[in-house]
């Protein structure tokens, strides 16, 4: 078992799909009350999720499970040693048995290793004038011993030089899904397939569109509505900054390609997390978007009643 697998079992953020990962990212950002990272999450969700994976892997390897991580790493090094020694033995005896040449030896050696390790093609150029396979075997064994001596002092810091790092493995596994965001609130589609045509994009919980800086046209007034309430209303919207044509929310799919493939189910679901978020970062959101929560965009009194703990707890419904 490698480190990435081990973390998938032991780190709750890594033991599910991307929605689960997202939930842990939001929890961690809320705990830290880190507005700037929230903005990165809203505008570039993939970047923020990858940063989170990298930070958690660092924490796991260098603090929480340092000894365990080192044990796995050393075991992997020993396995490599074992495979190379076996390949040396197998290739040499096969070639001696069949009276083969150096090309056959290299062929046998690499095909044995390929079953166990990922490696590039071994070049025969430097072996051209070698006739004695037992000599070659000895030379390689000598080399291997010195490599193994070096590897036995391997440290976790050195792991950074490895080709496939555990954080990259986790990123590849957890980030393989749809990344399309809701045109109103910027929530991520939760489909686990990267391309799920002809199925529409979907997310169980939309947000207050204030999260995405949506405002009333030609004003500095923030809209605080949730997309799920808007699409049930008789109100209308402008699909973008320059558009002069109002589209009824009930016909939002006709507003353009960004809207066409989204299935936004009209309902009253409002995750307390986003109410808390808007209240908690009211000032920062106003400054960031250069907008105001006033008039139609005034924050309802009820929203302010949610504590941070309740907000975080509500994420479990995601």
* Region near Zn ion per CB under 5 A, out of 4-12, 41-49, 179-187, 269-277: 179-187
Please report how close the Cβ of residue 201 comes to Zn ion at its closest, in angstroms. Answer: 4
Site string for Zn ion, 133-172 (x = CB under 5 A): ----------------------------------------
CA distances from 284 to 19, 72, 165, 171 (A): 26, 44, 36, 30
Residues 201, 263 contacting (CB under 8 angstroms): yes
- Paired tokens of 307: 């504590």
Binding residues for Zn ion restricted to 188-217, rule: CB under 5 A: 189, 191, 201, 206
Burial 100-134 (b: 16+ CB within 10 A, else e): eebeebbbbbbebbeeeeeeeeeeeeebeeeeebe
Please report how close the Cβ of residue 28 comes to Zn ion at its closest, in angstroms. Answer: 23
Contact pick of 184, 205, 237, 303 for Zn ion (by CB under 5 A): 184
Please report how close the Cβ of residue 264 comes to Zn ion at its closest, in angstroms. Answer: 6
Binding residues for Zn ion restricted to 4-43, rule: CB under 5 A: none
Residue 53 or 185: the one with the smaller Cβ distance to Zn ion is 185
Residue 69 or 271: the one with the smaller Cβ distance to Zn ion is 271
Residues 121, 106 contacting (CB under 8 angstroms): no
Question: CA 24 from chain center: how many Å?
Answer: 12
Query: Contact between 185 and Zn ion (CB under 5 A)?
Result: yes
Residue 57 or 264: the one with the smaller Cβ distance to Zn ion is 264
Contacts 24+ apart (CB under 8 A), 197-202: 200/261, 200/262, 200/263, 201/261, 201/262, 201/263, 202/262, 202/263
Kindly list the residues in this chain that would bind Zn ion in the complex (CB under 5 A): 178, 180, 182, 184-185, 187, 189, 191, 201, 206, 227
């Amino acid at each position: 078992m490698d480190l990435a697998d081990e973390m998938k079992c032991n780190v709750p953020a890594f033991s599910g799909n991307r929605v689960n990962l997202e939930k842990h990212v939001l929890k961690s950002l809320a705990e830290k009350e880190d507005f700037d990272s929230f903005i990165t999450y809203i505008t570039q969700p993939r970047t923020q999720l990858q940063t989170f994976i990298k930070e958690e892997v660092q924490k796991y390897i260098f603090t929480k499970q340092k000894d365990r991580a080192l044990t796995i790493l050393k075991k992997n090094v020993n396995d490599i040693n074992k495979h190379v020694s076996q390949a040396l033995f197998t290739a040499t005896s096969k070639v001696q048995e069949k009276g083969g040449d150096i090309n056959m030896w290299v062929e046998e050696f690499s095909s044995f290793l390929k079953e166990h390790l990922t490696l590039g093609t071994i070049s025969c150029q430097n072996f051209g004038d070698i006739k004695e396979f037992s000599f070659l075997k000895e030379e390689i064994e000598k080399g291997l011993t010195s490599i193994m001596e070096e590897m036995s002092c391997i440290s976790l810091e050195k792991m950074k030089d490895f080709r496939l790092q555990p954080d990259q493995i986790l990123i590849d596994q957890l980030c393989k899904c749809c990344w399309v965001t809701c045109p109103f609130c910027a929530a991520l589609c939760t489909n686990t397939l990267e391309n799920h045509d002809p199925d529409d994009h979907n997310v169980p919980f939309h947000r207050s569109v204030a999260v995405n800086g949506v405002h009333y046209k030609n004003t500095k007034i923030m809209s605080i509505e949730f997309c799920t309430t808007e699409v049930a209303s008789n109100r209308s919207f402008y699909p973008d900054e320059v558009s002069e044509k109002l589209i009824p929310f009930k016909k939002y799919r006709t507003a353009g390609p960004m809207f066409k493939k989204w299935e936004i189910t009209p309902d009253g679901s409002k995750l307390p997390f986003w109410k808390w978020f808007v209240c908690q970062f009211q000032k920062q959101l106003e400054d960031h978007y250069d907008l105001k929560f006033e008039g139609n965009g005034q924050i309802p009194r009820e929203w302010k009643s949610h504590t941070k703990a309740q907000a975080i707890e509500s994420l479990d419904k995601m």
